[in-house]
Structure 1
Amino acid sequence: MIEPKFFALIIGTEILNRRRSDRHFDFLSRELLDRGYKLSGSFIIEDDPALIVQTLKFLASWPNAVVFTFGGIGSTPDDHTRKAAAIALRDGRLIELPEARRIIGERLKKMEVPNPQYPLKMAELPRGAKLLTNNPVNGMPGFYLDDRYFFTPGFPEMAHPMVREALDRFFPPRQKKLHRKTLTALCRESALIDVMEDLPEGVELSSLPKLYSDGPRVVISVSGEDPRSVEEAFRRFVDALEERRIPYSPGEEDSTRT
């Protein structure tokens, strides 16, 4: 697979109406950074079947997408993710996975759940699904498709160990040294757009404008794996600021491993 683009799809009307707070974005973004990757996008959507299908189709349109989905894989009427995954990524059918039925059945015996026929519906998964089993709370499995679409429960205590299971299996940590240089200039960011448009390849730019009572400022940050390219990009900003007689102050140089 080419360089993966990681996405979070967080499904839960209760987050959007503020009955619960999201804990998945912060977890996944930090977990990826710790392993040398980064999160490219995060979506929070309501428990709407059509919306889930269309969002999954959109994310799957990226050939290098890796999607971690949180929520909606249970057996209650508002759990639509299993079916939506089947429609968006397969032929629309749910097929009972014997291994999932066995695991769920064993857990149900220990839990003495009334009407066990309903939880057993969680064993009905899209064709070709494989299981995520690291759920220390109740042992109910999640699932994944094509080694890059991962479906976990909405509860962080259940979902986050499954995410680590998936990352350990398919995306082991890698060591990447990231170099960063910053400065703060006493001007609007529009004064430096021409420099921003002409940076060396492989350099990532961050421009953060600020407005204070004594005037505007902009914090410029350039980063990348190649220290020479980062230094060249930084020097272009410095040269432009000095030529235009715009005051600035450099920040601390940063070199970290991700």
Structure 2
Amino acid sequence: MQVAILTIGDELLAGRTTNTNASWLAEKITDRGGAIRRILTIPDDRALIADTVAAWSERFDAVVVTGGLGGTPDDVTLESVAAGLERDLVVVPAVREQILEKGRKLREERPEFFEEYELEFDIDAAASLPEGARPIVTDAGWSPGCVIENVYVFAGIPAEMKAMFETVETEFSGDVVSETVYTPAPEGSLRTVLEGVDEQFDVSVGSYPQSEDRLGRLRVTGNNEETVEAAAAWIRERVETGEPSESN
């Protein structure tokens, strides 16, 4: 499964917010056997979002989008995705009722919250999704995410994004498997081994620098578990290996 991840937000590009969503999603999807082929961060630019989603939805098996969802003026993700897929935004009655019910419960539980703050929240805007979309509603946030064709739209707030992904994670799967070999050998000394394993096996090998425990990583990836295991064993026979500390 070839997957692309698109994170949206001016605050991400300005460095005011750390983009943990992309790395979390990439790890989760990779663990399920999917292959991440693109990760891109773009601003809250309606035309750019629409163009990117339109192009990627045709190029990849799945496109994961995270960004501002909801009924405030700066939440442009859903309307931009809808434009990219040539869909109208429509109010989904069931979603609207769910949002209203959440509001009623919050008002009962925390009446002082409504007394202290003058809330400006467009219910219809928050309950609007691209026509034909499958809603993703969770208890973690107010506004829903959704699935349209092969495009998955999640909230930008990490806790809400994770809750949304967990409702559809079984839809991300593939045959990609990997195994990691840890070695204290400096990266520059591994060229012969890396070239050799590439010639011997149908796998790809990524070499990553030494971490705090002075161990580098050779990550062997392929579509066949037996081939990956054989390639990792071949590497271990030719390089000094080690075991990472629990903190790593």
Q: Which residue of the partner structure matches residue 205 of structure 1? A: 205
Q: Which residue of the partner structure matches residue 149 of structure 1? A: 151
Question: In 2, Cα distance between the equivalents of 1:176 and 1:15?
Answer: 30
Question: In 1, Cα distance between the equivalents of 2:220 and 2:159?
Answer: 36
The offset of 1:122, in angstroms, is: 1.8
Alpha-carbon RMSD: 3.7
Q: Which residue of the partner structure matches residue 244 of structure 1? A: none
Instruction: Work out whether residues 181 and 230 of structure 1, in 8 Å CA contact, stay in contact via their aligned partners in 2.
Output: no
The offset of 1:144, in angstroms, is: 1.3
Pick aligned residue for 1:83 from 63, 79, 82: 79
In the TM superposition, 1:233-248 aligns within 5 A as none
Instruction: Work out whether residues 54 and 88 of structure 1, in 8 Å CA contact, stay in contact via their aligned partners in 2.
Output: yes
The offset of 1:196, in angstroms, is: 7.0
Residues 187-217 of structure 1: CA distance to partner in whole angstroms, max 9, x if unpaired? 577777865763532x12224579xxxxxxx
The offset of 1:119, in angstroms, is: 3.1
SS in 2 for 1:10: strand
Pick aligned residue for 1:93 from 88, 96, 99: 88
Q: With structure 1 as the length reference, what TM-score do the two structures score? A: 0.70
1:15 maps to 2:16: no
SS in 2 for 1:102: helix
1:74 maps to 2:70: yes
Question: In 2, Cα distance between the equivalents of 1:130 and 1:76?
Answer: 22
Q: Which residue of the partner structure matches residue 133 of structure 2? A: 129
Instruction: Work out whether residues 144 and 150 of structure 1, in 8 Å CA contact, stay in contact via their aligned partners in 2.
Output: yes
The offset of 1:227, in angstroms, is: 3.7
Q: Report the AA paired with residue 201 of structure 2.
A: P
Q: With structure 2 as the length reference, what TM-score do the two structures score? A: 0.72
Instruction: Work out whether residues 145 and 164 of structure 2, in 8 Å CA contact, stay in contact via their aligned partners in 1.
Output: yes
Question: In 1, Cα distance between the equivalents of 2:75 and 2:104?
Answer: 23
Instruction: Work out whether residues 223 and 230 of structure 1, in 8 Å CA contact, stay in contact via their aligned partners in 2.
Output: no
Alignment length (residue pairs):
228
Q: Report the AA paired with residue 146 of structure 2.
A: F
Q: Report the AA paired with residue 81 of structure 1.
A: T
The offset of 1:6, in angstroms, is: 2.4
The offset of 1:131, in angstroms, is: 0.8
Change (3 A) 1:80 1:97: same
Q: Report the AA paired with residue 101 of structure 2.
A: E
The offset of 1:29, in angstroms, is: 2.7
Structure 2: runs of 5+ lacking an equivalent:
108-113, 211-215
Q: Which residue of the partner structure matches residue 167 of structure 1? A: 169
Change (3 A) 1:189 1:54: farther
Identical counterparts, % of pairs: 23
Change (3 A) 1:48 1:196: farther
Larger radius of gyration: 1
Q: Which residue of the partner structure matches residue 54 of structure 2? A: 57
Higher helix share: 2
Higher strand share: 1
